[in-house]
Structure 1
Amino acid sequence: MPLLLTPLPADRFDDWLATTRVRLIALRRESGMLVGEDAAARVDEFVGELLAEGHETPTSLILEIEDDGVALGTAWLAANNGVLFLVDLAFGVSPSEAQRGRLLAELRTLARTQQVTRISMGVYASDSESRAFVESGGFEVASIQMLLEPLPSREGRSRVVVSPMTAERFTSFAVASEAAFAADLAASGRYSEEDAAVESHRQMQLELPDGVASEGQELFVAEVDGDEVGVLWIGVRARAGRPHAFILDIEIAEGHRRRGYGRDVMHAAEREARRLGADSIGLHVFGFNTGAIRLYESLGYRRVEERFLLTV
């Protein structure tokens, strides 16, 4: 018997929304992605954007999941740019592997009717049911949000010295960074090449409106014995009312790779984070960059959220 997905009735929307809000806040806090009131504020902003018109928001669809008369939970969906986003998957009872498979089959069918080619889902570290769903369904990791907290004490002298980037160096850095990020977005499968270029440019303009002098941005060149070996870009965020460092770009120049300089620059990022008053560092890495993931995890970074992608 097929598993049923039926639209959530309007008279149950308020209860669903209240329950979902609590769930989303808890997932962010438990994973460490956000803490305290930051989690509540971010969830309220997120929900407000995706459900601007409440139950009648045309870009969102909330479905009840039922199998043989038993209510299993709900799925919140949104479609954009050829991707069906599984915004939230909430089970009231733990589904069997067969039920997970039938749910995925229904979602695949729905994706095809919406003429989208990929299904995307974010999974927080503490969400074991969602993780079981993506792992059993053949999803691949598209991107990872990672966190290092608290900053460790490390001994030893670094070979790499970082110094503030000059306005002259920024010009070539900005061009290269924007192009590299666009290429990574396209390679991750989340964007077409055209859309990736647009999104990369948008983010660059958002983060660096005033170039190297942009408020809350720290840009560095990394040198060894006076020779540039790479670049480092840190954005200063807030976390529970305290400074939080977020690595927006780190690049070791060709010709200087596989010499351990990446680890040295990451150590330098920790030192700069302390100088800025932070005791935590976050970063984003694409799933295909397995070498970088291994480096970050060896330094103590942990995964707080992963974005999975499945081609329909």
Structure 2
Amino acid sequence: MPVELSPLGADRFDGWREDVKQRLIARSRESGMRAGDDAIDFAEAFLRDLLPQGPATSSAGLFVLVENSQELGALWLADSGGKLFLVDLGLSVDLDARQREELFSTIRRIAVQHEARLISVALFPQDAQAHALIAGRGFAVASIQMLLEPLPERRVAPHVVVSPMTAERFRRFAEHSEASYAEDLVAAGRYTADEAVIESRRQMRLELPEGIDTPGQELFTASVDGAEVGVLWLGLRRRDGRPHAFILDIEVAQDQRRRGYGRELMHAAEREARRMGAESIGLHVFGFNTGAIDLYESLGYRRVEETFLLNL
């Protein structure tokens, strides 16, 4: 008998939900993405937001994996905006290659039935079972969350001057950053062009409601011999109750690339993060930006979460 999906009974929902919560907490902490109570807060908010009506949430598909009357685990799928999200896979046994093939074929069939154009899954490095499920099936890395901790003591080259961005420069920066981020969302395969414009604008307004004067946000320009070579945007956040810096935007001017300025801007980000009182620094990078990924990893940043997409 093949691996089959059976709906999770409402009487089992509370126990299943607690299992998912504990799995999220453990993997968040193991990866370093979140630490301490942050992992608990994230797991609770995640489940509350994605399952507002509990087992009756219309976008959620909650299943038990069964083979020959034996339960193998549980699967959570969510359907939204033309995408099928593989939200959680909790297995009580390790699936063999045949079982993974049968399970994935069923997930793909569900995606087609829902007229989804993409299958999306966000995984921590420790999600060995889900990684095995999607391996070799055409998924591409769409985006990566990275972390560096503790902050190193690295110097910015003296000829690269990094200083606070002016209000005049900010107006041009905000327009360019919003448009560029929308283009990246499309290039990463995560949004259509119209969706990307809306999402980019939403995030810009969320992060900078007061523009350049928004508390906890610091923006810089980098120059060499008086000529601008790049920009940097840092946001101050909290991680396990301690200050944590996040690189929201970093860009070297098109005509100034391949001169080492990206590395100097990263050194500047770490310097400014220390000045802001942060003990760690994080960033997000799109999977297609392999040059940036190589730079970050050469500086010691490690992957703490990756989002994979399969275009159907």
Give me the whole-angstrom Cα distance separating, in 2, the residues matched to 1:25 and 1:78: 20
Give me the whole-angstrom Cα distance separating, in 1, the residues matched to 2:295 and 2:67: 43
Q: Partner of 2:226 in structure 1?
A: 226
Checking the alignment, whether the CA contact within 8 Å between 1:82 and 1:118 is kept in structure 2 is yes
Checking the alignment, whether the CA contact within 8 Å between 1:220 and 1:232 is kept in structure 2 is yes
Describe the SS at the equivalent of 2:278.
Answer: coil
Following TM superposition, by how much is the alpha carbon of 1:70 offset from its aligned partner in structure 2, in angstroms? 2.5
Q: Partner of 2:80 in structure 1?
A: 80
Following TM superposition, by how much is the alpha carbon of 1:153 offset from its aligned partner in structure 2, in angstroms? 2.5
Q: Partner of 1:246 in structure 2?
A: 246
Give me the whole-angstrom Cα distance separating, in 2, the residues matched to 1:271 and 1:165: 16
Deviates more, 1:266-275 or 1:129-138: 129-138
Checking the alignment, whether the CA contact within 8 Å between 2:148 and 2:282 is kept in structure 1 is yes
Q: Does residue 180 of the first structure (1) align with residue 177 of the second (2)?
A: no
Q: Partner of 1:19 in structure 2?
A: 19
The Cα offsets for residues 42-85 of structure 1, whole Å up to 9 and x where unpaired, read as: 11011101111111111211111122332221111111111001
Checking the alignment, whether the CA contact within 8 Å between 1:183 and 1:193 is kept in structure 2 is yes
Checking the alignment, whether the CA contact within 8 Å between 1:236 and 1:243 is kept in structure 2 is yes
Describe the SS at the equivalent of 1:43.
Answer: helix
Deviates more, 1:60-69 or 1:200-209: 60-69
In the alignment of these two chains, the number of paired residues is 312
Checking the alignment, whether the CA contact within 8 Å between 1:150 and 1:280 is kept in structure 2 is yes
Q: Partner of 1:128 in structure 2?
A: 128
Give me the whole-angstrom Cα distance separating, in 2, the residues matched to 1:225 and 1:89: 54
Q: Partner of 2:216 in structure 1?
A: 216
The Cα offsets for residues 256-278 of structure 1, whole Å up to 9 and x where unpaired, read as: 00101000000000000000011
Give me the whole-angstrom Cα distance separating, in 1, the residues matched to 2:155 and 2:175: 36
Q: Partner of 2:64 in structure 1?
A: 64
* RMSD between aligned residues: 1.1
Checking the alignment, whether the CA contact within 8 Å between 1:123 and 1:131 is kept in structure 2 is yes
The Cα offsets for residues 204-232 of structure 1, whole Å up to 9 and x where unpaired, read as: 01111111101111100111122110100
Structure 1 stretches of 4+ with a deviation exceeding 3 A read 155-159
Following TM superposition, by how much is the alpha carbon of 1:154 offset from its aligned partner in structure 2, in angstroms? 2.7
Tell me the amino acid that sits aligned with residue 284 of structure 1. Answer: H
Q: Does residue 6 of the first structure (1) align with residue 3 of the second (2)?
A: no
Checking the alignment, whether the CA contact within 8 Å between 1:101 and 1:137 is kept in structure 2 is no
Following TM superposition, by how much is the alpha carbon of 1:156 offset from its aligned partner in structure 2, in angstroms? 7.1
Give me the whole-angstrom Cα distance separating, in 2, the residues matched to 1:76 and 1:136: 21
Superposition pairs for residues 237-276 of structure 1, below 5 Å? 237-276=237-276
Q: Partner of 1:160 in structure 2?
A: 160
Tell me the amino acid that sits aligned with residue 293 of structure 2. Answer: I
Q: Partner of 1:103 in structure 2?
A: 103
Give me the whole-angstrom Cα distance separating, in 2, the residues matched to 1:167 and 1:294: 33
Q: Percent identity?
A: 57
| TM-score with structure 2 setting the length | 0.97
Deviates more, 1:130-139 or 1:277-286: 130-139
The Cα offsets for residues 93-135 of structure 1, whole Å up to 9 and x where unpaired, read as: 1111121111110011000111111100011022211222222
Describe the SS at the equivalent of 1:258.
Answer: coil
Give me the whole-angstrom Cα distance separating, in 1, the residues matched to 2:224 and 2:91: 53
Checking the alignment, whether the CA contact within 8 Å between 2:178 and 2:204 is kept in structure 1 is yes
Describe the SS at the equivalent of 1:137.
Answer: coil
Structure 2: segments with no counterpart, 5+ residues: none
Structure 1: segments with no counterpart, 5+ residues: none
The Cα offsets for residues 235-266 of structure 1, whole Å up to 9 and x where unpaired, read as: 10001111100000001001100101000000
